[in-house]
Structure 1
Amino acid sequence: MSVQFVLEALVVLGAIVMGTRAGGVGVGLWGGLGTFVLVFVFREPPGEPPAAALAIILAVVTSAAMMQAAGGIDWMVAVAAGVIEKRPKQITIIAPLTAFLFSIGAGTSNIIYPLLPVIYDVSYKNRIRPSRPLTVTVVQSGMALAASPVSAAMAAMLTLTDVEPYNLGLTQILAITIPACVVGIVVTSLVVNRMWKNLDDDPEIQAKIESGQLAAPQLLADGESAASRLTYTKEGRNSALAFLLGVVAIVIFGLFPQLRPAFGAEGEEAVPIDMTTTIVMVMFVVGVAILFLGRPDVKTVPDQSVFKAGMISAIALFGIAWLTATFISAHEDYIVSTIGGWVTSWQFIFALAVFLVAALTTSQSTATRTIVPIGLAAGLPAGVVTGMWAGALSGVYTLPANGTQIAAANFDLTGSTKLGTKLLDHSFFVPMLIMSVVTIAVGALIGAVFF
């Protein structure tokens, strides 16, 4: 191990740590500074900027924000809330699975925010401890983006694996991540359903009810529905359907490459256009369709939460991905020969690395571009990398600092969903660990056996 390698590694780690402390776009800015140091101080050639991933993020975020401006997310939330209310006694498993499905379709975890009060309302009135469905619903959103064709994390992953020699495209990634995530959610829901005291047996909650601080749980009357309070417009419904059809079209194009136009130089075999280009074009088509079907006020698109979150992800991804690409390309031989041996012998080290970076940065796309290239360069099979990557992304909920965690705790009027006082004693920590371990194990198994 050379002194220069150690110094450059410290620059990379330092940029990540400082970017994490700054948060948001600060991650990207510090990544850019780290790249500058590697190039101008250590004289390393700059790596390849993540242009393809950025193109996907920009196209998807624009269309998704158009959908949100038209009211499409309101329609999705109303539909999801209706599904949750149909089986209230099974809410601990139904709520997170429903939220998972809609997070996949929307490509963002923001969709769960308006679902949280509905989940609390339904669980409490059915005398189910609210922390059970709330914690699992929140934690699943950390890894749901690994199963979404239109998330920033998937954009980052796809540009790393859908190339030679890995050739792991969108449909192959989804074939690994979706079943692994579903198993992780189901197992976690079953375990969490036995955690903590039941609502009627919790003395703290019962004391709040007896003192009048908390209204006694009462079942909804016939025809009454918490979901009915969620309103949406016809334009919102149409825009959401257009967006979801675009997601379906992307999956179909991934499954059947022959549907994509093929091009090649004279005398060479024609090759279908890549999925990055396909996703970008499909999303632009979807955006135009939403213009006509949803009639959103285009001026409000930059103000949408999806747009703001997407732009922050794009900036963070650009800086940190450029930094890691520069570092890895400069030391690829050493990484493959040395670190590769560690990862091959103890594959869990890769999952742990993704988990820790996700925990520190609270960004799935940043964790993807930081650690996945190292795992691939070290010689781990792409299928195994993909399976472990999906489960490890739940690490974003290691600390109780995310908006969805804070929102869930605030919506839970019983106080059963706690943020804790010692960093790791919050209600989300154990469900997060269970879901991560199960999903990592199942995903790695699927990736190793079938890919």
Structure 2
Amino acid sequence: MVWLQLATVLLFIFIGARLGGIGIGYAGGAGVIVLALLGMQTSMEYIPVEVILIIMSVIATIASMQRAGGLDYLVYLSEKMLRKHPQYITFAAPMVTYFMTLLAGTGHTAFSTLPVIAEVAKEQGIRPSKPLSIAVVASQVAITASPISAAVVAFAAMLQPFGVSYLQLLSIAIPSTLFAVLVGAAVANLLGKPLLEDEVYQQRLKEGLIKQREQTNYIPTSEAKFSVYAFAVSIILVVSYAILLSGVIENPTIGRSEAIMAIMLTNAGIIALKCKINLNEVTQMSTFRSGMSACICVLGVAWLGSTFVNGHIDDIKALSGTLLASYPWMLALILFFASMLLYSQGATTAALMPAALSMGIEPSAAIASFAAVSALFVLPTYPTLLAAIEMDDTGSTRLGKYVFDHPFLLPGITTLVISVTIAFVIAGFVI
């Protein structure tokens, strides 16, 4: 019966992966029903309600900022920076997508900067696949370092009972991922022949398929600027309150998670009032749609995984607890392959991290392995990866004959390996 139940979990995860997007959540809910029919007990306690509510609150603010023009303003600032030192585009591009994701808590902000990255690289005669590949990877790994991302919020809540604070998690995740992205950029810079020697580029050039993107005369509005500044202040407030909870405030009247939700909702309201935005249009924003989709994904897959794990926790500990305790780095491999299928850092974290911690994995090892939930670049089907290919009209960012021979793979694997390695070192000092 145990193996049948495990097969059920894997089957519905596979179905969800095939459906893609919100389908992961749908399949998770269906899987819970089948597990219940197979005799497994489930409960509302297995649903990460707190995480879902925080995602909703953060997305409410980001969508309000987008409607006020804040994301356009961030793209404008990014383009100015990229064009200031275009010769360093392979290193500057991932920094832009990394910090945009770090601040916004979602990697979908990369969509708006990918056309700029491709164009600046093309203008400099640099193979666009170099900056585009590592820019996509940076936007994914930055999720595990963002103070307001679903994955970080979920993981921080799991670590709290073990005496590991939100700030300790960030103090390990941010420097390790940031340095790893720079190493990944160095690797990306070495890959592929020069653009002028690329046969596909030469052929597309002859056929007149390569266009020059016109620079827009975008003028940021006061509303756009205000929304970005207000959002930045809300993040500062969230982090500052977390610092105060680490020792200054002993008996808080509002906890960290509750504070995040309250601050974000308040900030969304302030943006709406000051910028006079139509609230009916906020729900039509791309960030709102992707955020609500993430809530359904986390709900379904986390509920499915938690139902199985909690029903067989003693067996799981007996089978793999000793192995992971002896070789904690193997957790990174498990997270790596799981995120390839789940296509979500938040869903992978919610599904697997509670099991890992319950099996006796040291919190420091779990944090060090955390970046491995960002292996969304391995299969060439993730939206930002496909967008990068589509936006590069030189043809340099292309898929090979086989599934895995694409320009995102080596920079991505390098980034994750370096991040996990550095995090193990830092965690030894921080925790």
Structure 2-normalised TM-score?
0.93
Residue 179 of structure 1, aligned match among 161, 175, 181:
175
- C-alpha distance in structure 1 between counterparts of 2:233 and 2:283, whole Å: 23
Determine the structure 1 residue equivalent to 2:310: 329
Q: Pairwise mapping of residues 154-173 of structure 1 onto structure 2 (< 5 A)?
A: 154-162=152-160, 164=161, 166-173=162-169
Determine the structure 2 residue equivalent to 1:238: 226
Native 8 Å contact 1:74 1:231 kept in 2: no
- C-alpha distance in structure 2 between counterparts of 1:213 and 1:19, whole Å: 37
- C-alpha distance in structure 1 between counterparts of 2:152 and 2:399, whole Å: 29
Unaligned runs of 5+ in 1: 263-269
Determine the structure 1 residue equivalent to 2:58: 60
What do the CA deviations read for 1:87-138 (whole angstroms, capped 9, x no partner)? Answer: 1111111110121111111111121112111111211111211111111001
What do the CA deviations read for 1:301-320 (whole angstroms, capped 9, x no partner)? Answer: 11111111111110111121
Determine the structure 2 residue equivalent to 1:282: 263
1:251 to 2:245 alignment: no
Shift of residue 420, structure 1, vs aligned partner: 3.0
- C-alpha distance in structure 1 between counterparts of 2:388 and 2:42, whole Å: 46
Shift of residue 450, structure 1, vs aligned partner: 2.1
Distance 1:422 1:82, change over 3 A: same
Shift of residue 345, structure 1, vs aligned partner: 2.3
Shift of residue 213, structure 1, vs aligned partner: 4.8
Unaligned runs of 5+ in 2: none
SS in 2 for 1:193: helix
Determine the structure 1 residue equivalent to 2:67: 69
1:12 to 2:9 alignment: yes
SS in 1 for 2:190: coil
1:437 to 2:425 alignment: no
Residue 23 of structure 1, aligned match among 20, 23, 32:
20
Distance 1:31 1:422, change over 3 A: same
What do the CA deviations read for 1:377-429 (whole angstroms, capped 9, x no partner)? Answer: 12122122122111x13311111112211221122121110133421112212
Q: Pairwise mapping of residues 291-440 of structure 1 onto structure 2 (< 5 A)?
A: 291-390=272-371, 392-440=372-420
Aligned residue identity for 1:399? L
Aligned residue identity for 1:120? A
Identical residues among aligned pairs (%)? 30
Residue 137 of structure 1, aligned match among 135, 138, 151:
135
- C-alpha distance in structure 2 between counterparts of 1:437 and 1:7, whole Å: 34
- C-alpha distance in structure 2 between counterparts of 1:21 and 1:448, whole Å: 39
SS in 1 for 2:127: coil
Determine the structure 1 residue equivalent to 2:78: 80
SS in 2 for 1:273: coil
Aligned residue identity for 1:41? L
Native 8 Å contact 2:54 2:261 kept in 1: yes
Distance 1:290 1:375, change over 3 A: same
- C-alpha distance in structure 1 between counterparts of 2:154 and 2:219, whole Å: 34
Native 8 Å contact 1:67 1:294 kept in 2: no
SS in 2 for 1:303: coil
Residue 147 of structure 2, aligned match among 135, 146, 149:
149
Shift of residue 209, structure 1, vs aligned partner: 4.0
Shift of residue 203, structure 1, vs aligned partner: 4.3
Native 8 Å contact 1:257 1:272 kept in 2: no
- C-alpha distance in structure 1 between counterparts of 2:206 and 2:25, whole Å: 51
- C-alpha distance in structure 2 between counterparts of 1:37 and 1:203, whole Å: 52
Aligned residue identity for 1:196? G
What do the CA deviations read for 1:352-372 (whole angstroms, capped 9, x no partner)? Answer: 121112111211111111111
Distance 1:448 1:6, change over 3 A: farther
- C-alpha distance in structure 1 between counterparts of 2:126 and 2:235, whole Å: 35
Q: Pairwise mapping of residues 15-54 of structure 1 onto structure 2 (< 5 A)?
A: 15-46=12-43, 47-54=45-52
Distance 1:131 1:230, change over 3 A: farther
- C-alpha distance in structure 1 between counterparts of 2:206 and 2:222, whole Å: 44
Native 8 Å contact 2:245 2:252 kept in 1: no
Determine the structure 2 residue equivalent to 1:266: none
> How many residues end up aligned between the 2 structures?
430
What do the CA deviations read for 1:248-267 (whole angstroms, capped 9, x no partner)? Answer: 111111112179876xxxxx
Native 8 Å contact 1:385 1:444 kept in 2: no
Moved more, 62-71 or 228-237: 228-237
Native 8 Å contact 1:106 1:244 kept in 2: no
Aligned residue identity for 1:201? E
Structure 1-normalised TM-score?
0.89
Distance 1:5 1:370, change over 3 A: same
